[in-house]
Each structure stands twice: as structure tokens, then as C-alpha cells.
Structure 1
Amino acid sequence: MRLAACCLVAAVLGWTPGADAPGSDAPAPAGWIDLMKPEAWKKVDPGWIVTDRVSLDPEKATKLKAEKAAGGTIWVNGDKGRIADLYTRASFGDCDVHVEFMVAKNSNSGVKLQGVYEIQFIDRTPPKEPTGDSMGGIYPRADTTPNYHHIDKGIAPKANAGRPAGEWNTLDLTWRAPRFGADGKKSANAAVVRAVLNGQVIHENQELRTPTGNNYPKAETPTGPLMLQADHGPVAFRAVRIRPTK
């Protein structure tokens, strides 16, 4: 990032070069990488709001209400709830991930391992039988033509563990990257070894044969960035961190 761009992002996010970034007042546990810092991401849209509190807008529950606050540790995806997604500068293979998030009514977000395998975050009345498009689901594969549409059901979570719009959710996930032989061919699928949403196990030893969504035709790789989706409705994040594992 060029210096001028870095300073613009720093000013918007409420910190100055040389000072501690938002979230540094609550350091990540040993071995974990704190991602609540602008420098952790390839590009940070200046519309992000860094604050110390967020809630549903009392006048419109499909929006989140937040005001910038110096030293805040919560990131909200702008006034309109649609902003460029975040991709980490670093690439990761096997890892543990911790994400705390809040969505507005009818909002849609997610976290993508290696940038292409998505765990769905969505506000929707919990179905009797959850699917991959439910809260905590492994998102279905999809095509974009003639219109965006799913071509399978994805992988449903074991439980409807999501909390109502305007409440914080916590996801803890252990990820195993796909394996490749000396010839470059895939020798083992990627897998969600374990995922726990709000204290409930939602996935265990769940293999993914391909990336998810419309990324499914892409060639798989041993590593990739962590992505936070921010372009499908109001969402807030806090305490996002990652720990590479052997």
C-alpha cells in the first residue's frame, strides 16, 4: 500500500501510523494473528466504520447503527452495508480461525477459507432442516449464468446455532487445506475438521471436493487468503484472528 493510501485508510479507521491499530488493546492469544488491523488486509475500503458499539437501527432493523469511535475494536461495513470484501495479505493453509460477527435483519455475509471455501453467515428464519445456505452452512456451488443460481445444496450445519439479527455470533473453526502430490495433483480434499458456532458443533471432519459458490471451477491451491464478505448487507466484525497450524 502506498503511503498516501495508507494514511487515508488510517485516518478513516481512527489511528495514525506508528500508533497501535484498532483492537490492539485486546491482543490475540499467543500463537494467534490479530486481523483487526488495517495492515492485515490487502485493501481496506475507507467506508469501514471502526467503533466501540453497534446495534440494530431502531428505525430500520435491516441496518446496523454505529458511529466512529477512537480506539474502537468493532468494524462495521459502512452506512449502506455494502462495501468491498476483505482479503488478508498473508496466505494460509492449515489453520484455526476465530470470528465474531453480527448481521442485520435479512443480511448475508460469510468467511471464506483460502478465499474460496465459504462458511455462510446469514439472517434467516431457521429452517427445520438446515442447508448449506443456512447460518453456518458450507455454501452451495453456484453458476452465474443465465442468473446466479445454486447447483447443489451445499453442506448443512448439524444444528441451527445462529443468533437473531443484532446479536453477536462466535465461530471457531479448524481448517485443513487440500493436499497435493509431487506431480501437482490433488491427493486429499480440503476439510472443515471442526466448526463450533455459539458453542454448538456444526461441522466435523467435513470434506469439500471443490471450492464453494461460483468459485467451484477454480483450481485449488495449498494456501490462500482469509476473506470476510462485506458486500451483501450490513455486518459487523470483532476479535477476528487466525492461527496457522502444522
Structure 2
Amino acid sequence: MVASAAALAHDPAADPEKTEAWTPVPAVVATPVGAAPSDAVVLFDGSGLAAWESEQGGDAPWRVADGALTVVPGSKGIRTRQRFCDIQLHVEWRSPAQTRGVDGQNRGNSGIFLQELYELQVLDSHDNPTYPNGQAASIYKQAIPLVNASRPPGEWQSYDVIWKAPRFSEGGGLLSPARITVLHNGVLVQDDTVIAGTTEYRGPPSYSPHGCAPISLQDHDSEVSFRNIWVREL
């Protein structure tokens, strides 16, 4: 039987204060319009590549101009100098506007590698058919995005990512796989997706034990640009 409102009003255990939690008090994070949150690690704000290095070591060789970071084809990828595990990541990217004679995986191809091992695909997927587990916002060769939220080539796009790193036992066994949630241009495209293992071009994914690692951006012989890259450690 459901207690009446009158009975609840006279029941000390039903005092609304009994269900109010006053601790812990959440930390304050400022969220200025058009800027990274106050507790974010800013990886690229248009001013330089101090946070990045070549995947081969040494200074990052990509081009910086007009507030954007652009792949220099043939120069190899770049990675953050800092290592990360669980993160919230924001990155904006733009595929080349000129697409004449280029299609499929050759159009605006790059990638964002979490912990250098797990690829969130970057590709011009606007009116550009390819295998769905290799289109924009796929977890490459693993997870097809829920929808195709791609904008036309030459327009800026955004990824907002929640990444939960895999956990391994002291003996190297997998305790829990990595998981990812992705919003592409504000649209949910990966919903707490379980990662089957490292990104592989050939063969099935698998896990090997590792710790926190850099975020890397791929050179796939296309002049893809990036801007406004920041991360919050979770």
C-alpha cells in the first residue's frame, strides 16, 4: 500500500533533508564560450606545436597556419608529448575541399589514435561510399558509426570523445576492454562502444598489456587539417 501524503508529512524518516547529499562538492570548471574548459589540457590552440612531436621522435613536422594544423603528406604522424589514459577529447578537423578524381579511402583520410593503438577514423564521408567500418567516425575496421553525420569537404567538423582505457592485471591479462563514446558534429555516433583490441589493417584486433600513452594523429597522404584540440583527464 502506498502511504498517503498526510502520513508521509508526519513521518520523520520521510523528511526531504534525509535524502539530500551535501558532500562531495563538485569542483568548479569554467566553460567559456568558444574556449576549452578551465581544467583542460590544451593540445593545440593555433599558436604552435609545443605539445606534439613526430611519431619518430623530434619536433612535429606538420604545417601551422591560420589557426590550423595540417598534415604534411609523407612526413609521418605526430603524437602528444604527454601520455593519457581515461579522457574527454575535443578535436575539430577539416578534409580538403578539392575532391576531383579522389574517392573512397583516398579522400581526406587521417585518424585519431587513442593511446596510439586504437583508431577513430577521419575521412571525407560526405557522398563518398566506402566500407562502413572504415568511414568517418568508425572505430576503424571494428565499429560502424550509428549514423553518417559528415559535412561537405572543406567544412570544419568536430569529434567529442569519451575514452575509457583498457585495464590489465598484473600478469598482463585483460580485466576490462577499452570503451568509447563519440559525438560527430554534436550527433551520437558511437555509444559506449566496446573496443575489440588494437586497430589492425589486416587480421583481427587483439590486446596486449600497456599503460597510458600519447594521442596520435595519422599522416595518410592527405592534407587534413585540425584545430581546437583539448583533453580533460578523467
Same-fold call, TM cutoff 0.5? yes
Alignment of 1:20-59 (within 5 A): 28-36=36-44, 37-43=48-54, 44-46=59-61, 48-52=62-66
Quote how far apart the aligned CAs of 1:231 are.
3.3
Is this contact kept in 2: 1:93–1:224, CA < 8 A? Answer: yes
Alignment of 1:1-246 (within 5 A): 28-36=36-44, 37-43=48-54, 44-46=59-61, 48-52=62-66, 73-78=67-72, 81-104=73-96, 105=99, 106-126=107-127, 131-140=132-141, 154-192=142-180, 194-214=181-201, 216=205, 219-245=208-234
Is this contact kept in 1: 2:126–2:151, CA < 8 A? Answer: no
Cross-structure match for 2:17 = none
Unpaired segments ≥5 residues, structure 2: 1-33, 100-106
1:138-174 deviation digits (Å, cap 9, x = unpaired): 001xxxxxxxxxxxxx210001011111010100000
Quote how far apart the aligned CAs of 1:125 are.
4.6
Task: Name the CA distance, whole Å, in 2 between partners of 1:125 and 1:101.
Answer: 14
**Aligned-partner SS, 2:50:** helix
Greater CA drift, 205-214 or 154-163: 205-214
1:203-237 deviation digits (Å, cap 9, x = unpaired): 01111121112494562423111011123311101
C-alpha change, 1:99 and 1:206, in structure 2 (3 Å) is: same
1:87-139 deviation digits (Å, cap 9, x = unpaired): 11111110011110001231201100000100111124547897220111000
Amino acid paired to 2:43: L
Q: Which runs of 4+ in 1 moved over 4 A?
A: 125-130
Task: Name the CA distance, whole Å, in 1 between partners of 2:172 and 2:209.
Answer: 10
Is this contact kept in 1: 2:90–2:231, CA < 8 A? Answer: yes
TM-score for the superposition, normalised by structure 1 = 0.68
**Aligned-partner SS, 2:132:** coil
Is this contact kept in 2: 1:98–1:173, CA < 8 A? Answer: yes
Is this contact kept in 2: 1:82–1:234, CA < 8 A? Answer: no
Structure with larger Rg: 2
Is this contact kept in 2: 1:82–1:233, CA < 8 A? Answer: no
Amino acid paired to 1:39: A
Query: More strand per residue: 1 or 2?
Result: 1
> In angstroms, what is the RMSD of aligned CA positions?
2.3
